Amino acid sequence: MKAPSLHLNDVRKSFGATEIIRGVTLDIAAGERHALIGPNGAGKTTLFNLISGRFEVTSGTIRLDDTRIDTLPPHRINRLGLSRSFQITSIFHRLSVFENLRCSLLWSRGYRYSFWHSLGRQSALNEEAERLLEEINLAGRRDVQAGLLSYAEQRALEIGMTVAGGAAAILLDEPTAGMSNTETEQAIALIRRVTEGRTLLMVEHDMRVVFDLADTITVLVYGQVIASGSPVEIRASRAVQEAYLGAEAA
């Protein structure tokens, strides 16, 4: 697994007459932990939806290494090695925790649409799912229906599902939103552990998480990048302080 770089070139997205993303150019280096911050309505989640193929771009290009992905459907982008989580937890709520992880592994392990393999007999696959279960600390909840997990557990499961397929580029949309302090700390440790050696782009509101995890921070305001740099640079940037950080950074 070689971590890819991600390149956005003058990406624009309009919904009707309203332009939400107004020409974003952004380069994310291979293996970098990159945080995307900005006030509500800045277009962070929209940008995620464009990169992951959930929405089509109005204009501009998005490349994963050298491959253009802005014209591909989500599942094709995923197969190229880009995986994402959602702001609102997105899991298979009626399947067990274990099944959720196993389903997330299937495509990358080459099972495709097979209706001849019996899942119970795929020992390598099942061991891998068990190992993931340990990694996200949900081994004790293995057979629980995913929809019945606590909120923090569901978030952890979603992170596990996002990294399961071995994608080298990971997009996390507010992975710690709505968590308590302890849960946030555990989530940071988990993200740090599972994204080792991968390219990470995350939207996050919690500045502790951002400054703790990120190598580079990009600030998005009204669909445009107003600053991009190391945490130290962003903290010092006057434009960022005025536009967004305000009291928190002062």
Partner 1 sequence: MVVIGLVLPWLFRDYAHARDNGFMIAMFSQMGMMITFALSYNMLMGEAGLLSFCHAVFFGFGGYCVAHFLNAAGDGGFFLPLELLPLAAGLCGLGLAVVFGAMATKQRTTAFAMITFGIGELAVTAAIMFKHFFGGESGITTDRTNAWSLFGVNYGHGLQVYYLIIVWTLLAALGMYYLRGTPLGRMANACRDNYERAQFVGYDPRMVRFIQFALSGLFAGIAGGLYCITYEIVTYDAVAAPLSGNALLMAFIGGVGSFSGPVIGAILITALQSGLSLMSSSWIVYVGVLFIAMVTFAPTGITGILRAHTPIVRSGRLRALALPYARLLLPCLLVLAGFVGLVEMLSFATIGASEGKTLNLFGLTPDVYAVGPWLIAAAALLVGIAWLRLEARRFQAAWDAAMAGLAPVGGR
The site string for partner 1 over 6-45 (x = CB under 8 A, - otherwise) reads ----------------------------------------
* 191, 159 Cβ separation under 8 angstroms: yes
Q: According to the binding rule CB under 8 A, does residue 119 interact with partner 1?
A: yes
Query: How far is it, in rounded angstroms, from Cα 240 to Cα 174?
Result: 20
Amino acid identity, residue 104? S
Stretch that binds partner 1, among 11-19, 64-72, 77-85, 198-206 (CB under 8 A): 77-85
Stretch that binds partner 1, among 55-63, 87-95, 192-200, 215-223 (CB under 8 A): 87-95
Angle formed by the axes of helices 123-135 and 151-164, nearest 10°: 130
In the complex with partner 1, the residue whose CB is nearer, 76 or 233, is 76
* 218, 225 Cβ separation under 8 angstroms: yes
Q: According to the binding rule CB under 8 A, does residue 74 interact with partner 1?
A: yes
Nearest to 193 by CA among 167, 159, 216, 161: 159
Query: How far is it, in rounded angstroms, from Cα 18 to Cα 42?
Result: 13
Query: How far is it, in rounded angstroms, from Cα 157 to Cα 132?
Result: 10
Stretch that binds partner 1, among 6-14, 96-104, 210-218, 220-228 (CB under 8 A): 96-104
Q: According to the binding rule CB under 8 A, does residue 222 interact with partner 1?
A: no
Stretch that binds partner 1, among 141-149, 176-184, 191-199, 228-236 (CB under 8 A): 141-149
In the complex, the smallest distance separating the C-beta of residue 131 from partner 1, rounded to whole angstroms, is 17
Cα–chain center distance at 31? 14
Among 16, 17, 66, 120, binds partner 1 (CB under 8 A): 120
- Interacting residues with partner 1 (CB under 8 A): 52, 54, 73-75, 78-79, 83-84, 86, 90-96, 99, 102-104, 106-108, 111-120, 144-145, 147-148, 161-162, 164-165
